[in-house]
Structure 1
Amino acid sequence: MTTPYAIEVKAYQGGGTTHVPYAPPKKQVTEAEYWEKYYDYPDKNYEWNNGFLEEKPVSEHVTYLTFVWFLELVNHYLKTHSNADLAGLEMGFRMVLSNKMNIRKPDFGVVLKSNPIPLLPHDSSYHGTFDMCIEAISESSAKEVTRDTVTKKAEYAQAGVKEYVILDGNGNHTAFYHLNTNGIYVPVKPSKGDIIKSKVLPGFQFRIADLYKKPSPEKMIEDPIYQGFVLPGYSEAKKAKQEAEKRADKAEQQAKRLAAKLQELGINPEDI
């Protein structure tokens, strides 16, 4: 795959020119130096992996669109339940693992209100462990795929992140994990209709296929899978309006039948 950072390499066996991704050498920095100089670096988005900078890769647009839809779905849920806070905008958190220390920046994270370390309004990094991490995968190279599907998966599990979601707009690496009692990620088993249900956010659920169809809120409020948390006020108001319209229609029909009966008896309804 050719990337914007590819370089040309002469293929001496067989001739011609090929492209390989350009991989800049890893830069080793102290944790203090990372927080001071690279955490909010202006041009690049860096994580810190046991002493080395790692640049976060860019996802394809199709994955970005899936990510945006999922983020909006979580926002709908939190507006209804208010039991957690969202962390985004490249907010990182520190993990002290058995064999290394890391600072990772999930594409967005969820912190439950019940988490012993709250996410405060003026925090620029989270000082606890996210309850849920969501990563929008980059398929620019096998190494980048492995970082999300293997490396970060192991790190988040060991750190105690209760749920891990990997989003892939192409559907190749989409995955949903929940931390079991042994501290190991197990895949979330879809219920009937390929419905994924979160344990971290009770009542939050979605169809796997909808990650790619991306139905609008107007369609989701008609769907029993989403009615409980996507614009429930709108759904209830619409239902109330429909009920009122039914009652008005029923009253009108009854009035017409009464008027017809009176006319049969030779009585003008307007005289009553």
Structure 2
Amino acid sequence: ENPYPDIDVSYEWNNGILEAKPLPNYPQIRQYRWFSLLLDCYVQVNPIAKFIDLETGVSMTVLDADEPSGKWEVVYKPDIGVVLNDNPAPWGALELRAFEGVCDMIVEEVSDSTSAEVRRDTEEKKRGYALAGVKEYFILDPADRYMGFYRLTADRRYAQIRPGAGGVIRSQVLPGFQFRRTDLLNLPGLEELALDELYAGYVIPGFHDAVNRAEEEAAARRQAEERAEEAEEQMQALKAELARLRQDRS
């Protein structure tokens, strides 16, 4: 199945069917890179996981009573796969070119060129990832039509992650990894994130406090300068008064 017959595309294997991996547009690339950078910042501070991307295949075989064969066999290439360091499947060695295990988190930038592509991300992959045991599944969408954040339940189904105050999504797979849903649409820069208390713990940690200290020191300098100016004005006023008194006596 290839909706792009004139373009050289990569493929995913879905239960015996080769499916063309959908091609992203520029807004999807921007959003993907922003979220990927956010994850990189988190792991630099909390080195508890490794990532899968760059066309890396993830091979999964899952028991599925709805399939004629009784199982669901796929080789997908998720946009981002998060593999915790304690995941039983090995990942990270130089010789490993594919991941044969279950990611702890998967992030897909929704493919929306056709209704079939949307259904693949929002229904088929969502169901399969849940059966496989992927603990969290995030669907990103710069158009904000299909964006969703899901966490695995005990019966291998996904439940939506309820946002906290201010629309904040918090991961359990990556403790402390949190972001505003609206920021996925606005894509603020790193410096702005580092000054935001929500992100300050893992985006350029210490930058927020350093800026606050610099502002406090600058404010203290301004106050000292203002006091010095006031003292100088008072001194000049006293000198003028003394000069006037001497003149009156003479």
Match of 1:205 in 2: 178
Are 1:53 and 2:26 counterparts?
Answer: no
Please say which of residues 211-220 and 247-256 is displaced more in the overlay.
Answer: 247-256
Q: Report the TM-score when normalising by structure 1.
A: 0.76
Q: 2:165 is matched by which residue type in structure 1?
A: K
Match of 1:110 in 2: 82
Measured against aligned partners, the alpha-carbon deviations of 1:4-30 in whole angstroms (never above 9, x if no partner) come to x8xxxxxxxxxxxxxxx6789xxxxxx
**What is the 5 A alignment of 1:207-226?**
207-226=180-199
Match of 1:93 in 2: 58
Count of residues paired in the alignment: 229
Of the three residues 114, 120, 137, the one matched with 2:110 is: 137
Q: CA deviation at 1:245?
A: 2.2
Q: 2:212 is matched by which residue type in structure 1?
A: K
Give the distance between the partners of 1:261 and 1:111, measured in 2 at CA. 68
What's the Cα RMSD here? 2.4
Q: 2:88 is matched by which residue type in structure 1?
A: P
Q: Which protein has the larger Cα radius of gyration, Structure 1 or Structure 2?
A: 2
Are 1:159 and 2:132 counterparts?
Answer: yes
Match of 1:31 in 2: none
Of the three residues 74, 85, 92, the one matched with 1:120 is: 92
Q: CA deviation at 1:234?
A: 2.4
User: Cα gap change, 1:223/1:22 in structure 2, threshold over 3 Å: closer, same or farther?
Assistant: closer
Q: CA deviation at 1:258?
A: 5.9
**What is the 5 A alignment of 1:1-272?**
43-98=8-63, 99-122=71-94, 123-255=96-228
Q: 2:147 is matched by which residue type in structure 1?
A: T
Q: CA deviation at 1:135?
A: 0.8
Q: 1:47 is matched by which residue type in structure 2?
A: E
Give the distance between the partners of 2:84 and 2:4, measured in 1 at CA. 40
CA contact (8 A) 1:111 1:118 kept: no
Give the distance between the partners of 2:112 and 2:236, measured in 1 at CA. 77
Q: Percent identity of the aligned residues? A: 39
Gapped runs of 5+ residues in structure 1? 6-20, 25-42, 267-272
Q: Report the TM-score when normalising by structure 2.
A: 0.82
Give the distance between the partners of 1:174 and 1:116, measured in 2 at CA. 30
CA contact (8 A) 1:90 1:108 kept: no
